[in-house]
Structure 1
Amino acid sequence: MFDPAFAQRLVLLNGLFPLALCGWDGFRGQLGANPLEFILRLTGGLALVFLTLTLTVTPLVAWFGPPWLIRLRRTLGLLAFFHASLHFTAYVWFDKMFDLAAVGVDVLRRPFILFGMLGFLVMIPLAATSTNRMIKRLGAARWKRLHRLTYVAAVAGVIHFYLFVKADTTMPLAFAAIVGLLLVYRWLRAQQLTTLGLDPKR
């Protein structure tokens, strides 16, 4: 019999495995000529991957029906926030040495930093309300409305990635296409619920 808890643990272990490899490579001094850039690319890329995977859970359940996938959504979302936090910390610590004034200047002058910061800030309340206790406290309807901000974080993350790479935009455009399709799905689903006389906001 399939065990959803085992699937959660498997996703968590696989989600942390790249960081374990990064730590091992760092210990051996094999992060390349620019270790900070390597770490920023790794953590930022993983954050966007897990954020996108989080958004795919709902349509996968709607199309294929395995309800246990819903239980993975929280794990994927927390992995996205964890990697985004590491991405943010590496930038503020190693790049700016906790100089908040310099961070503020970066946000104002460099659009890709602005969108990256927006995406990260949006994810904070999502992570803070990810527990069953917070779902009960907010109520299911309010919680769902709040967690639609996941799409905002994903769009901001894609723009951040696109503006950052500058040259080869293949990967950012691939993420943009996936997130765009998920947004279209969300809109079509809302229209369908409205047609059926149901509240799409619930």
Structure 2
Amino acid sequence: MRPDPGEVLHFSEDPTIARFVPHVARTARQPQPYVWAVDAARAPDYWFPRQCPRAMVWTVPGATMEDRERLIGPGGGERVHAIEYDWLERMRTTRLYAYRLPAAVFRPFGQPVPHAHVATVTVEPLGPAEPVGDLLELHRAAAIQLRVLDNLWPYWRAVTAAGLGFSGIRLRNAKPAPPDPRPAG
């Protein structure tokens, strides 16, 4: 599920939203009220139950072959999404919907590379919510490896220390981190 040209997407488990009103998200780091959406490149970041913690990594120019082999591996594709086993059943059963929104009222958000699009005005969807379908199949069809781990934190530590692109969403919902085996300091 990706936006068409001139669109951005908002993913939700609620198929009844008639309009999106700018608000300050509970987890926001900025005080401005926004309507949030994503473009085609970042849409896969949201092919999950809303509260599901996930660690994502992808290749970028200049990444070392060592980092790529260690964190993405031989499974094919240029991207890996990782979740915890505790979320696998919800990945299989969550009904997720996408709202198509007019891109013209949104602006890119995030530095140095935008990771979302925001609007400061109320936005009406271009049509009714569309079922996204099987979340595991979306990953397979997009050649995104989906890894299921007992605990995200060891992988997250490795991802953030490497020279690859990465993003973590809802990590506060992950299991507690085991002790870091690396020497302190």
Same fold (TM over 0.5): no
**Structure with max Cα Rg:** 1
Q: Which has the higher strand share?
A: 2
TM-score (norm 1): 0.27
Higher RCO (CA < 8 A, seq sep 6+): 2
